[in-house]
Amino acid sequence: MLKISNTLSGKVEEFQPLDPQQVRIYTCGPTVYDHAHIGNFRTFVFQDVLKRYLRFKGYAIFHVMNITDVDDKTIRNSGASTLAQLREYTSRYSAAFFEDCDKLRILRPDVVAHATEHIPEMAALIQTLAAKGYTYQKEGSTYFKIAQFKDYGKLSKLDAEGIMAGARVDVDEYGKQDARDFVLWKAAKNGEPHWETALGPGRPGWHVECSAMSMKYLGESFDLHCGAVDLVFPHHENEIAQSEAATEKPFVRYWMHGEHLIVDGEKMAKSKGNFYTLRDLEEKGFDPLAVRYALQSVPYRRQLNFTFDLLHQSGKSLARLQDFKLRLTTEKLRPGSGPKAGEATAAALQQFEKAMDDDLNTAQALAAVFDWVRDLNTELSEGRLCENDRQAALRALEQFNQVLELWKPAIHVKAGGGSIKLSGSASVEFLSEVDEQIRNLIEQRSQARSARNFALADQLRDRIYELGYIIEDTKEGIRWKKR
Ligand code: AMP
Ligand code: ZN
């Protein structure tokens, strides 16, 4: 039974979706004013592990994520005065965000909701709140009256003083009656993109965006809403206030918040200048999967300290897993079952699931996998691992990988290199610069492809990649490039 830590109740609870067949999730997506940094991606990887584990447990998932493509930062950085200019600017960064997600093997949401495409829904929600007496207008902006919503503070557990302190640092608001109140609709400023609505010319506040879009696609009450801990207050507290004031129904059942990626004791953040993007790390030669490994190596509720040593260690751990899979796939084995491997595999699967059921304890889950890899490597070396064990181990690998997504290195093709011509069927003509080991592997892979054993062919391609070469199949033959 999966247990998760629910910020709303402050407890670790058994997870029970409203609809037993399908879990409905909303995650707060990026603000697309620049490239996301790996601190942001720690949160997106945590959410990806959550989704993958829910799938592993047999649930179907419906996931919605927003893209904040209008706010102070996107307007400031783009210098846009029209919506078209703003879109041109933000679309670059949302495309870059999804490229990075793909490299980190983060599953795509079912719906990606852009704030600028949901203005009517936001205006309608604000009008509902106005009709119920939760809003006031000042200088063309509309504010939410916090004093009117009796449950305000139930997520963050902040008292009035804490709310005041938090509200003061929330730069997205201005000109309000009570320092705690937050803006729903911002009056248009000269030279800034804006919309004409029944609320007057302006643009939406950040909080209303997530309430309107999550309820549009997931209904007034849904299962899970996630972000990093900095979103608990004010963003998620305000989402609850807006949504529950409007619908008079419980908005979200489980709120999950991931801890930060930190650097020298401080949160990794754009404003602090202590950040790396995935692109920065790739330029330094790190494999995006090593970054994914690092980000999920510590359970999401614990802070993770970023260092280059962590990335190096993660790269090594990843290579061990990948070597193991290659060995497991390629070694010649006797038929039947050995004395230990079957039991070790069943136990590893159990421990893995137990760790993940415990509020997604990825560190323990990885420990279970590594203990198993060590045991099976011993069985292989001592000739005790047999064909049935291999099949069971490959199935287990498949299951671990459904959640961890670590067993296949990313292949990025860069310019330069050479080519290998295939003459006839599988015979290969090599360029002299390719060393013997690579040559053998390319040959084996080519034979595997001819035999239509594509799983093995992929394994061999991965191995070649690890040894520093990228190969591509073309009509003319196999092309190789040094990476
Ligand atoms: P933003 O693009 O600023 O809206 O942030 C996207 C997501 O990244 C949000 O869920 C943030 O809470 C989260 N985030 C920002 N900085 C960090 C960090 N250092 N570690 C983990 N998550 C972060
Ligand atoms: Zn949000």
Strand partners, 13: 4
Same structural domain, 248 and 222: yes
- Which of the pair, 116 or 448, is modelled with greater confidence? 116
CB neighbourhood size of 7 (10 A): 21
Say if ligand 1 is within 6 A of residue 227 CB.
Answer: yes
pLDDT at 428 over 50: no
SS3 call for 133: coil
Q: Over 80: is that where the pLDDT of 36 sits?
A: yes
* Span 275-315, pLDDT tens digits: 999 999 999 999 999 999 999 999 999 999 999 999 999 99
236 in ligand 1 pocket by Cβ < 6 Å? no
Q: Higher confidence at residue 162 or residue 462?
A: 462
The verdict on 170 and 51 lying in the same domain is yes
- Tell me what percent of the residues of the chain surpass a pLDDT of 90: 76
pLDDT tens-digit map of 202-244: 999 999 999 999 999 999 999 999 999 999 999 999 999 999 9
| Residue 356 sits in the same domain as residue 456 | no
Span 81-88, average pLDDT:
95
Instruction: Please tell me the number of the ligand nearest to residue 227's CA.
Output: 1
Boundary residue ending a domain (258, 280, 298) = 258
20, two tokens: 């037993």
Select the more confidently predicted residue: 221 or 327. Answer: 221
Q: How confident is the model at residue 345 (pLDDT cuts 50, 70, 90)?
A: very high
Domain span at 244: 3-258
The two tokens of residue 240 are 């609850």
Distance 227 CA to ligand 1 centre (A): 7
* 413 domain residue, yes or no: no
Amino acid 70: pLDDT? 96
Q: How confident is the model at residue 427 (pLDDT cuts 50, 70, 90)?
A: very low
The DSSP element (H or E) to which 211 belongs, if any, is helix 206-218
40 with 189, same domain: the answer is: yes
- pLDDT digits 0-9 by tens, 98-129: 999 999 999 999 999 999 999 999 999 999 99
Which residues line ion ligand 2, judged by CB < 5 Å? Answer: 28, 210
Q: Whose CA is nearest to atom 5 of ligand 1?
A: 30
- The structure's pTM equals 0.85
| 158 inside domain | yes
Q: Does ligand 1 lie within 6 Å of residue 30's CB atom?
A: yes
> What pLDDT was estimated at residue 326?
85
- Give residue-wise pLDDT tens across range 248-283: 999 999 999 999 999 999 999 999 999 999 999 999
User: At which of 404, 437, 467 does a domain end?
Assistant: 404
- Mean of pLDDT over the chain: 90
Q: Is the CB of 228 inside a 6 Å radius of any atom of ligand 1? A: yes
Q: H/E/C letters for each residue in 373-410? A: HHHHHHHHHCCCCCHHHHHHHHHHHHHHHHHHCCCCCC
Amino acid 435: pLDDT: 65
User: Which of 230, 268, 277 gets mutated to test ligand 1 (max ligand atoms within 8 A of its CB)?
Assistant: 230
Q: Are residue 458 and residue 399 in the same domain, yes or no?
A: no
Cβ 119 vs Cβ 204: under 8 Å: yes
pLDDT value of residue 170 = 52
* Nearest residue (CA) to ligand 1, atom 13: 40
Verify that 428 and 394 share a domain, yes or no. no
Nearest CA to ligand 1 atom 12: 228
- What integer is the mean pLDDT of 150-166? 81
Q: Is residue 289 part of a domain?
A: yes
Model confidence at 374: pLDDT above 50: yes
User: Looking at the structure, do residues 12 and 147 belong to the same domain, yes or no?
Assistant: yes
Pair 76, 212 in one domain: yes
Confidence band, pLDDT 50/70/90 cuts, at residue 460? confident
pLDDT band at 444 (very low <50, low <70, confident <90, very high): confident
Instruction: Check whether 357 has a pLDDT greater than 50.
Output: yes
pLDDT of residue 256: 98
Q: How far is the CA of 228 from the centre of ligand 1 (A)?
A: 6
Ligand 1 within 6 A of 260 CB?
A: yes
- In this predicted structure, the answer to whether residue 415 has a pLDDT above a threshold of 90 is no
Q: CATH number of the domain at 93, please.
A: 3.40.50.620
d(CA 306, CA 263): 5
Taking CA atoms, 469 is separated from 154, 404, 461, 476, 481, in Å, by: 55, 25, 9, 18, 6
